[in-house]
Amino acid sequence: MSGTGESDKTVKVARGLEGIVAAATHIAEVDGERGKLTLRGYDISNLSGKVTFEEVAYLLWHGSLPTKAQYDELCTEMSRARELPPQALAALDTLSECAEGMHVLRMGASMLSIGDPTVDSLDIASNQVRSARLQAQIPAIVAHTYRMRKGLPIVHPKPEHGLAQGFLYMLEGEEPHPARVDGLNAYLVAVSEHGLNASTFTGRVVVATDSDLVSALTAAIGALKGPKHGGVPGPVLKMLEEIGEPENAEAYIRAEILAGRRIMGFGHRIYKVRDPRAELLGDAADKMAELTGDRHLLRLTRAVEETTVKVLAELKPGRDLYANVELFAALILHAVRVPSELFTPCFAIGRTAGWTAHMIEQMEDGKLIRPNSVYVGPRGMQWAPMAERG
């Protein structure tokens, strides 16, 4: 793209900032060529199934896995913080009548500054504590507003619950089966952090202005709402339901590709191989199936993956389109019995850990993010009275 001003110089524009390195981070490495995701030096496959989501959140915020004392302190802090401010609950009760999903989550998140006298502080330790509070409150917003919209009373959290167990309890009002808690925990770990994606970048831009963590979190949620970034697991589940049986997969996939439609749950901006998070969630779904005995959706998902990779290689050679996290996210969230309308809000619950870690890192950097642009519009325009225009 070129500008045609007096200098008549040509400027190359990196549309979507593709290929631009905008931050140096200690938090995560996303290796698209090898299909590796590393969190603070740990390959995510080395963490999955071994740690709770709270441990991963601590790792992202502090740079190391917690000791037993640090873990207990974090869990106590998050347990205390899970109750929402009364003013926010009252507002959400009203808002839930006319908004749902990511809309009401965005509005709810913006109210989490209520009762925080130091919300504008840029102190790192203060914001590490604030991150834990926000992480505890986002699941409460999702669960409470879902029940409010259904005309059900909210379920107050129990102090002894961890985040995954507490979310399911607040959502349903009864103790969830441990297999469901383990499945949701595995999902939250898998989606907790993924480098400088659109929503994470949005949060860092907001914090770079010396704004506060709550404002940045609200902005990140707004970015996640867009279907080019979030919102895919719901359509994935719909696709699986339409296919129905493994033997129907090839005809369905071929028809969709030939019609020019995207196959949900495949392809990624970064990964040129299979998304490593897909494998982690597939393994977690397999463990759940062993406990529940329900393997139908797991068999269907694996058949759809195998068939889609084969057909894409035939019809779109060289495109490197493989399963991404959303394919198996739909499977495990459905197995955990999370309502499909909450799939993207559940993603936001997990990603809050990574978002806030990046916001803290940006506070430490202290540099305003302000890219340049090149003007390509008209020049030399002259004002004319309104009667002479057009």
Residue positions annotated with a catalytic role: 268, 326
**Distance between CA atoms of 16 and 197, rounded to whole angstroms?**
11
Would you list the DSSP string of 161-177? Answer: --HHHHHHHHHHSSPPP
Beta bridge partners of 28: 39
Nearest to 182 by CA among 170, 166, 165: 165
Question: Given the structure tokens 């990964």, which residue do they identify?
Answer: 271
Strand, coil or helix: 29: strand
Determine contact, residues 234/225, Cβ cutoff 8 Å: no
DSSP-derived letter for residue 36 is E
Beta bridge partners of 10: 2
**Distance between CA atoms of 28 and 176, rounded to whole angstroms?**
32
Determine contact, residues 134/217, Cβ cutoff 8 Å: yes
Around Cβ 257, how many Cβ atoms within 10 Å?
17
Nearest to 326 by CA among 151, 194, 217, 146: 194
- Name the residue type at position 345: P
Nearest to 285 by CA among 21, 48, 27, 29: 48
**Distance between CA atoms of 203 and 215, rounded to whole angstroms?**
8
- What order do you get walking across the sheet with 36-39 strand by strand? 28-31, 36-39, 42-43
Could you tell me how many residues make up the chain? 390
User: How would you classify residue 182: left for phi > 0, otherwise alpha for psi between -120 and 50, otherwise beta?
Assistant: alpha
**Distance between CA atoms of 232 and 239, rounded to whole angstroms?**
11
**Distance between CA atoms of 123 and 382, rounded to whole angstroms?**
51
Token pair of 313, please? 């290689």
